[in-house]
Structure 1
Amino acid sequence: MSDKKKWYEYAGDDSDVIVSTRVSVARNLKDHPFVWRMRAAERKAVLRTVISAVQDEHLSIAGLFSCTLMEELTKTQAVSLAERGVVSPEFIAKCEGKALLCSEDESISIAVNGGDHLLLSAMRPGLDLDGAGSAADTLESVLSRVLPFAFDREFGYLTADPANLGTGMHAELTMHLPGLARAGSLSRVASGLAQLGLSLREGVGAESGAELYRLSNRVTLGISEQEATFNLKSMAYQVVMQERAARKTLCQPLESQDRIFRCLGVLQHARILPLGEFMECFSNVRLGIAQQMFPAGPAMDAMAPLMMRAQPATLTLLTGRSMTAAERDAARADLVRVLWKGEKGKES
């Protein structure tokens, strides 16, 4: 992992509710079968073609990406990439013939030979569909000069998943929704969004314990990228307003305030911190920060990197040694105290 500050170490617009923005563009190479139909030699051929194009010194993106062959990574290194959101959990399930090209701050990446030949992704903190969309579009435009992308006049860009036909663009917002979740309103909100072609679903893995949800577009055929992002942004603002209203009600009772402050105490003083307990406390403390309940406490921009580093594989890489589950729980507690309380000692 690079020492350069990552994209998620900043708090963006509307970060009290919207943790991050991702815009991904799926592309496949003309005259090549889809990944699921390719043999090992064909996957390697696509891999060489893509890497050669990205590293072309005549392109404006030359030198921007480092290249990682997935099959050369340890399982811990691969899982850490998924924990940090650089790649999907599905991408690391089988690493043969796959590669990741990634910028140093991890904000822009190209996953090669996943579901499609290329998945171009741009990440931004908070709500920034314009910034992420522009970065992904620029990358796609540059690569289209040297790579022949599969395109059909009727269906648009051809993708392995028919649901992505057309633009091949997928925009997603990760949202912290404890107010709506605890009020029991999420199913109603998700149902309304589905009628507008949007999907609201629970986060994956440990994210679910932190009350993180993903709002994304579902329609790519017959609609432009601009229309898709405009619709997503418009509805995201509606969800943000509903969440903020729900939080006011949620945080009024003394019992709710007590729960939030107790969670802050756990993160500041615990010596053993299992992942599940950490994620629950993380959600409550993030809520407390958003509601300005801790004048001298942690800042919002500390939350995302804290969550990333506390995940099992990433935590293992930071410590530089393999650990038992009990040792990870102790290391996680040490990590949180060092980051937030400034305790002396080596950061785990």
Structure 2
Amino acid sequence: MNLNALIETSGEWLRGGGPESDIVVSSRIRLARNLAQFPFPIRASDAVKAEVSELLCNRLLDLDFGPQLYSLDVGDLNEVDRQFLVERQLISRELSDGVGPRCVCISREENLSVMVNEEDHLRVQVLHSGFSLGDTWSQISELDDNIEQHVTYAFSDRFGYLTSCPTNCGTGIRVSVMLHLPALVLTKEIQKVFQALQKISLAVRGLYGEGSQAMGDFYQVSNQVTLGKSEQQIIENVQEVIPNIIAYERRVRNKLVSENRRNLHDQIARAYGILRNAQTISSEETMHLLSSVRMGVNLGLIDELEMATVNEMLIQTQPAHLQKLRGEDLQSAERNVARASYLRERLTGDFTG
């Protein structure tokens, strides 16, 4: 797979065509698995990791399963290319920053990726646009069954699938939904959501999952418990909660429009104006302003932009994407200038280098 070719496309999950996609950016399910006959990655030598990587990549590429997979040797990639894949949600920071032989297999639509030698031998991930956990589960379950026909998983009758981290034992499943919640943040109602989720053992993380900070009012809600419940029970638990958050965000958005439309429109218009005219802009400010613009598009306050375009800009303005677009390494200040130029070009057609 040619990473440079990915710059010219956007993954299925960014296209904004899924259910409830005005608020739910994506649904993701990840499975953690290990092979029975090898030490887990945290205890494995580089020689063992190399053997696991070769074995699994070969098996994955030969699977008789819907989307064709393409492999990348993550250990051979430079720092910018690894960060590019992290920003693209195709690999985790842990795989990017890891050591020793490791790889990832990716579908061309970018809605499926399988990481090899991350914290576990296998981290299987399926990512779909909008609120579509049912379809996501169907695809990843089929893929997991296909893989298991070719390898033997480390499994215990008592503890389920065995993983490097005890908190992933059992089903090994992580179900997450990425939500855009600008109205709840603006009105400071978001803390009520956090408190309610904590009480039912659901975690709230940032744009890039565990350990990341929330940026641009984007939050990932996911399960914390993987042991003692079935995959279906865990999915249903998340599936039951998300509609309440969606309804809450919509209710607050509608209240802002009905009670303070002029001020809300002004805030969104100012954000749009800065993005269209800035000469230098940071990643953090860009995410914040694009969040306002995205809400404006969904509320009909900005007519000339598609949501898919805003989603794409959220990713394309990240540091590694900018450097891939420019074809050169850029320092922070240079990235800020390049980011502003990219935004002007996308939003006004005015590109001045």
Q: What's the CA shift for 1:62?
A: 8.6
Q: What's the CA shift for 1:31?
A: 2.3
Give me the whole-angstrom Cα distance separating, in 2, the residues matched to 1:279 and 1:5.
18
> Structure 1 63/192 Cα, relative in aligned 2: closer, same or farther at 3 Å?
closer
Q: What's the CA shift for 1:305?
A: 1.3
SS in 2 for 1:106: coil
> Structure 1 262/207 Cα, relative in aligned 2: closer, same or farther at 3 Å?
farther
Give me the whole-angstrom Cα distance separating, in 2, the residues matched to 1:30 and 1:140.
15
Does the CA contact (< 8 Å) of 1:55 and 1:63 recur in 2? no
2:118 paired with 1:114: yes
2:299 paired with 1:291: yes
**Larger deviation, residues 169-178 vs 220-229:** 220-229
Unaligned runs of 5+ in 2: none
SS in 1 for 2:95: coil
Q: 1:335 aligns with which of 339, 342, 345?
A: 342
SS in 1 for 2:124: strand
Q: 2:91 aligns with which of 68, 82, 87?
A: 87
2:11 paired with 1:6: yes
Q: How many residues align?
A: 343
> Which residues in structure 2 correspond to 1:88-107 (within 5 Å)?
88-107=92-111
- Name the residue aligned to 1:39: 45
2:317 paired with 1:310: yes
Q: 2:30 aligns with which of 24, 36, 44?
A: 24
TM-score (norm 2): 0.91
Q: What's the CA shift for 1:154?
A: 1.5
- Name the residue aligned to 1:277: 285
Does the CA contact (< 8 Å) of 1:203 and 1:214 recur in 2? yes
Sequence identity percentage = 28
Deviation by residue 1:49-106 (Cα, 9 ceiling, x = unmatched): 10121123xx313981111111110110001111111111122112421111111221
> Structure 1 206/196 Cα, relative in aligned 2: closer, same or farther at 3 Å?
closer
Q: What's the CA shift for 1:176?
A: 0.8
> Which residues in structure 2 correspond to 1:177-196 (within 5 Å)?
177-196=181-200
Give me the whole-angstrom Cα distance separating, in 2, the residues matched to 1:321 and 1:39.
35
> Which residues in structure 2 correspond to 1:213-292 (within 5 Å)?
213-251=219-257, 252-253=259-260, 254-292=262-300
2:176 paired with 1:169: no
Deviation by residue 1:232-286 (Cα, 9 ceiling, x = unmatched): 1110000111111122233442333211110011122223222122111111101
TM-score (norm 1): 0.92
Give me the whole-angstrom Cα distance separating, in 2, the residues matched to 1:18 and 1:311.
20
Does the CA contact (< 8 Å) of 1:199 and 1:218 recur in 2? yes
Give me the whole-angstrom Cα distance separating, in 2, the residues matched to 1:262 and 1:115.
44
Q: What's the CA shift for 1:5?
A: 4.5
Unaligned runs of 5+ in 1: none
Q: 2:328 aligns with which of 321, 326, 338?
A: 321
2:152 paired with 1:142: no
- Name the residue aligned to 1:69: 73
Does the CA contact (< 8 Å) of 1:206 and 1:276 recur in 2? no
Give me the whole-angstrom Cα distance separating, in 1, the residues matched to 2:266 and 2:107.
42
Give me the whole-angstrom Cα distance separating, in 1, the residues matched to 2:134 and 2:212.
28
> Structure 1 180/340 Cα, relative in aligned 2: closer, same or farther at 3 Å?
same
SS in 2 for 1:21: strand
* Amino acid of the structure 2 residue aligned with 1:23: I
> Structure 1 280/63 Cα, relative in aligned 2: closer, same or farther at 3 Å?
closer
Q: What's the CA shift for 1:185?
A: 2.4
Give me the whole-angstrom Cα distance separating, in 1, the residues matched to 2:202 and 2:285.
31
Give me the whole-angstrom Cα distance separating, in 2, the residues matched to 1:206 and 1:300.
24
**Larger deviation, residues 202-211 vs 132-141:** 202-211
* Amino acid of the structure 1 residue aligned with 2:285: E
SS in 2 for 1:32: coil
Give me the whole-angstrom Cα distance separating, in 1, the residues matched to 2:302 and 2:288.
18
Instruction: Kindly report the root-mean-square deviation, in angstroms, between the aligned alpha carbons of the 2 structures.
Output: 2.0
